[in-house]
């Protein structure tokens, strides 16, 4: 464990940030999971309507610095590809 005051403060700050980041990632993953559920049930109209909201959650997580920009783009591309896959069926 750290001994210096500045190091102890860093530990406290890191813990706060970790918890804040976990909340953001959790919200994003929950939204993606619900969307994948819609796609699995072949609910094309509902999935199409939900996609912009999911994109907003992903963008918000990226803006907070929790995930990298390329990671956000990859998530969005995969979700769009899922929707395109059920549109063909």
Measured distance CA(78)–CA(76) in Å, rounded: 5
User: Shortest CA distance to 66 belongs to which of 8, 27, 10, 13?
Assistant: 27
Domain borders along the chain are 5-88
Regarding pTM above 0.85, the answer is yes
- Sorted by sequence, the CB contacts under 8 Å of residue 9 that are 6+ apart come out as none
Give me the tens of pLDDT residue by residue for the chain, a chain 89 residues long.
678 999 999 999 999 999 999 999 999 999 999 999 999 999 999 999 999 999 999 999 999 999 999 999 999 999 999 999 887 76
**Inter-residue contact 42 to 82 (CB < 8 Å):** no
Residue positions counted in the chain: 89
What confidence score (pLDDT) does residue 20 get?
96
Could you give the maximum distance between any two Cα atoms of the chain, in Å? 62
Pick the CATH number of 5-88 from 3.30.2090.10, 1.10.10.10, 3.40.50.720, 1.20.58.110: 1.20.58.110
């Amino acid at each position: 464990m750290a001994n210096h005051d500045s190091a102890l403060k860093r530990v406290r700050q890191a813990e706060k940030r970790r918890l804040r980041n976990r909340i953001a990632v959790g919200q994003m993953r929950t939204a993606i999971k619900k969307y994948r559920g819609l796609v699995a049930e072949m609910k094309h109209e509902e999935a199409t309507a939900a996609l912009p909201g999911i994109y907003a959650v992903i963008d918000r997580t990226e803006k907070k610095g929790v995930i990298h920009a390329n990671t956000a783009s990859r998530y969005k591309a995969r979700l769009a590809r899922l929707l395109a896959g059920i549109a063909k069926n």
